[in-house]
Chain A
Amino acid sequence: MKRLIGLMKLLALTALVGGCALPVFAQEAAAPDPMQLMMDNNSALRIGLDTVWVLVTAMLVFWMNAGFALVESGLCRAKNCTNILAKNFIVFAASTISFWVLGWGLMFGDGNGFMGMSGLWFVSGADNSPALGEAYASMNPFSTAKYAGVYGAINWTPVPLWAKFFFQLVFAGTAATIVSGAVAERIKFGSFLIFSFILVAFMYPITGHWIWGGGFLGSNNFRDFAGSSVVHSVGGWAALAGVIVLGPRLGKYGKDGKVHPIPGHSLTSAALGVFILWLGWFGFNPGSTMAAMNGTAIAHVLVNTNLAAATGSLGALLTAWVLLKKPDFTMVLNGCLAGLVAITAPCAFVSIGSGAVIGFIGGILVVLAVIMFDKLKLDDPVGALAVHLCNGIWGTLAVGLFYDNQIATDIAALATGLGRGAQFMVQLKGVFWVGLFTLPVCLIVWYVIKLVMGGIRVAAEEEVEGLDIGEHGNEAYPDFVITQPAGIHGISRGAMAMSEATAEVRIPKPAAN
């Protein structure tokens, strides 16, 4: 069988070389070197395969929007379901426009250490991709063409410019959609939409430039393979800023500091959403090679990704079982995502065993973080801060703690040559700079939107009635009677008129009959 395949390959190659060579012979020009033709054909095949890989994985990442829509709507109340679905849907449309108009240019345009300066608008800069630049030569011995263009920081992949653009666009969209869950059930639809446009046009691409666009972090050995920092921490910091400016949902925290849980309306949605995200991550991380190469790297990264999701789920399950007495399924779902976020930066720099440990710690962290954010009265209905911010930071630091130079050379082709301690310090600095920029800038943007739009939070009456009717004029489930879930049924419209938004109102319990 093996011999047969070998024979077929040889035949195919002969036909390829012969087929291309024939017309040249017919014109009786000087005979080209058959070896050169074979190399050219192999290069074309190589670029074709790499492009298919990049575009298919990008489509998987696009599909993560569906995952986020289901997770977030499932973990919120039925009366806000249309609103959350609408936010998750429209945010990708907004991201597409923002990233096309300006985001890509700021992120990948040649410029200084802080931001891109060339080819800023509408991805219009010079670029001769698909080209096999010198940087790609190590992966492709047939490489001869030189890269010429203004998006030099991403010339290490040979795929066409629009494949690079689409792959990076779906990542930018992911960062923006993270915000939606944390600010859910109380934000004005319009305010969220405007913030999404601004996030993807400015904040996301600037820190992205620092790390992936040739900026001061990436060129100083900071490593984030698929975006624990670039995508998840940035989305998390933006979400934290939104949560701070908005305040908690009505009835979530009592005056005595007691947490009144607000259960989500469909764990079926939430579970399907996390399955979709788990699948999508097989595009997110392995696709970040942006080339299929000889297959070793994408297989290593994919297995690391899957292991971290598995150990993250188990870590959260055990932590919830021990700390909260029951293996709360919503925590397990968050644990899976925590493992995935945590492995996103280190997946191509660490061994498979390290990947399992990183995911497991992520699963433990996410449960503790959910409880911590509730203690701090930072109301995050879906656990986006615990998943994306905490584990984005954890994953970025884990690159240093578990860094393996040999794997970084073989898998990521981005070795730094540093020891674990030194790499950890570099990672820590990167985490610091990303937070120091993104959180204050996002706070300012949220406050400016609040000022300009006359508030970013819906009226108390609308929050009680549900944002579906208030923001969109219709409901997700018009055939059903929607009741207040337990824990917050004390909030009535009458009580709302009398009390401030943060006051806790509980109807006295009826006497037993």
Chain B
Amino acid sequence: MKKIEAIIKPFKLEEVKEALSEVGIEGMTVSEVKGFGRQKGHTEIYRGSEYVVDFLPKIKIEVVLSDDKADTAVETIIKAARTGKIGDGKVFILPVEEAVRIRTAERAEAAV
């Protein structure tokens, strides 16, 4: 099993979710996060003085799925989340040791 963590631009969430459902990936966990990479922050002005906003709002999507679906999922996310401009985000793929469904106590791929 793999866990895919994708950090994307907030306004791309809806497109990514729909693209993932189209390829048969239904479940996901979404969080509002803040951070920066090469994009860095941006400057804002308040009452005559400039200041830097380092941490920009992003959305983190977490999906756990079987190994064979991981590549499709990553490709789908990249296609849906890309704008071509700096700040589009990143995708991380992590191995998952075990998964348990709380309601039935099913394990491994049956649980995801």
Residue of A330, A486, A513 near B47 (CB, 8 A) is A330
| Least distance between B57 CB and chain A CB atoms (Å) | 11
| Residue interface bits B35-77, CB-to-A below 8 A is 1, else 0 | 0011011001111111111110000000000000000000000
Bound: A487/B47 CA distance, A: 13
| Least distance between A487 CB and chain B CB atoms (Å) | 4
| Least distance between B90 CB and chain A CB atoms (Å) | 10
Interface contact B54-A509, CB-CB below 8 Å? yes
Interface contact A261-B37, CB-CB below 8 Å? no
Interface contact A486-B40, CB-CB below 8 Å? no
Interface contact B48-A487, CB-CB below 8 Å? no
Residues of B contacting A330 in the complex (Cβ-Cβ under 8 angstroms) = 46-47
Residues of A contacting B45 in the complex (Cβ-Cβ under 8 angstroms) = 261, 324-326, 328
| Least distance between B60 CB and chain A CB atoms (Å) | 15
Bound: A259/B53 CA distance, A: 15
Residue of A261, A320, A325, A512 near B40 (CB, 8 A) is A512
- Tell me which residues from 88 to 112 in chain B have a Cβ below 8 Å from any Cβ of chain A: none
| Least distance between A504 CB and chain B CB atoms (Å) | 13
Residue of B nearest to A371 (CB): B48
A50 at the interface (CB under 8 A from B): no
A370 at the interface (CB under 8 A from B): yes
Bound: A304/B27 CA distance, A: 62
- Tell me which residues from 353 to 372 in chain A have a Cβ below 8 Å from any Cβ of chain B: 367, 370-371
Interface contact B49-A486, CB-CB below 8 Å? no
Residues of B contacting A468 in the complex (Cβ-Cβ under 8 angstroms) = none
Residues of B contacting A259 in the complex (Cβ-Cβ under 8 angstroms) = 48-49
Residue of A325, A326, A367, A486 near B53 (CB, 8 A) is A486
Bound: A330/B62 CA distance, A: 39
* Interface Cβ pair total, 8 Å cutoff: 54
Interface contact A260-B47, CB-CB below 8 Å? no
| Residue interface bits A305-342, CB-to-B below 8 A is 1, else 0 | 00000000000000010011110101100000000000
Residue of A nearest to B34 (CB): A483
> Which of A259, A331, A383 is most buried by chain B, counting CB atoms within 10 A of its CB?
A259
Residues of B contacting A185 in the complex (Cβ-Cβ under 8 angstroms) = none
Question: Assuming the A-B contacts A486-B53, A486-B54, are A374 and B37 also in contact, with contact meaning beta carbons closer than 8 angstroms in the complex?
Answer: no
Bound: A261/B43 CA distance, A: 12
Question: Assuming the A-B contacts A259-B49, A374-B49, A486-B52, are A512 and B44 also in contact, with contact meaning beta carbons closer than 8 angstroms in the complex?
Answer: no
> Which of A261, A326, A489 is most buried by chain B, counting CB atoms within 10 A of its CB?
A261
Residue of A261, A367, A512 near B49 (CB, 8 A) is A261
Interface contact B46-A328, CB-CB below 8 Å? yes
Interface contact B38-A486, CB-CB below 8 Å? no
Interface contact A328-B52, CB-CB below 8 Å? no
A113 at the interface (CB under 8 A from B): no
Total number of A residues with any Cβ neighbor in B under 8 Å: 25
A218 at the interface (CB under 8 A from B): no
Interface contact A486-B37, CB-CB below 8 Å? no
Bound: A75/B52 CA distance, A: 19
Residue of B nearest to A386 (CB): B47
A455 at the interface (CB under 8 A from B): no
Bound: A479/B56 CA distance, A: 21
Residues of A contacting B53 in the complex (Cβ-Cβ under 8 angstroms) = 486
- Tell me which residues from 2 to 51 in chain B have a Cβ below 8 Å from any Cβ of chain A: 37-38, 40-41, 44-51
Residue of B38, B51, B55 near A261 (CB, 8 A) is B51
Bound: A14/B48 CA distance, A: 66
Bound: A324/B47 CA distance, A: 8
Residue of A260, A263, A328 near B48 (CB, 8 A) is A328
Residues of B contacting A324 in the complex (Cβ-Cβ under 8 angstroms) = 45, 48
Residues of A contacting B37 in the complex (Cβ-Cβ under 8 angstroms) = 512-513
Residues of B contacting A487 in the complex (Cβ-Cβ under 8 angstroms) = 46, 51-52
> Which of B40, B44, B46 is most buried by chain A, counting CB atoms within 10 A of its CB?
B46
Residues of B contacting A371 in the complex (Cβ-Cβ under 8 angstroms) = 48
Residue of B nearest to A75 (CB): B47
Residue of A nearest to B42 (CB): A486
- Tell me which residues from 379 to 435 in chain A have a Cβ below 8 Å from any Cβ of chain B: 383
Interface contact B47-A261, CB-CB below 8 Å? yes
Question: Assuming the A-B contacts A324-B45, A326-B45, are A260 and B51 also in contact, with contact meaning beta carbons closer than 8 angstroms in the complex?
Answer: yes
In the assembled complex, 5 residue pairs joining A and B whose CB atoms fall closer than 8 Å, in A order, are A261-B46, A320-B48, A374-B49, A487-B52, A513-B37
17 additional A-B residue pairs with CB within 8 Å, beyond A324-B45, A330-B46, A486-B55: A258-B49, A259-B48, A259-B49, A260-B49, A260-B51, A262-B46, A323-B48, A324-B48, A325-B45, A370-B48, A374-B47, A383-B47, A486-B44, A486-B53, A489-B54, A512-B40, A513-B38
Chain A contact residues, CB within 8 Å of chain B = 258-263, 320, 323-326, 328, 330-331, 367, 370-371, 374, 383, 486-487, 489, 509, 512-513
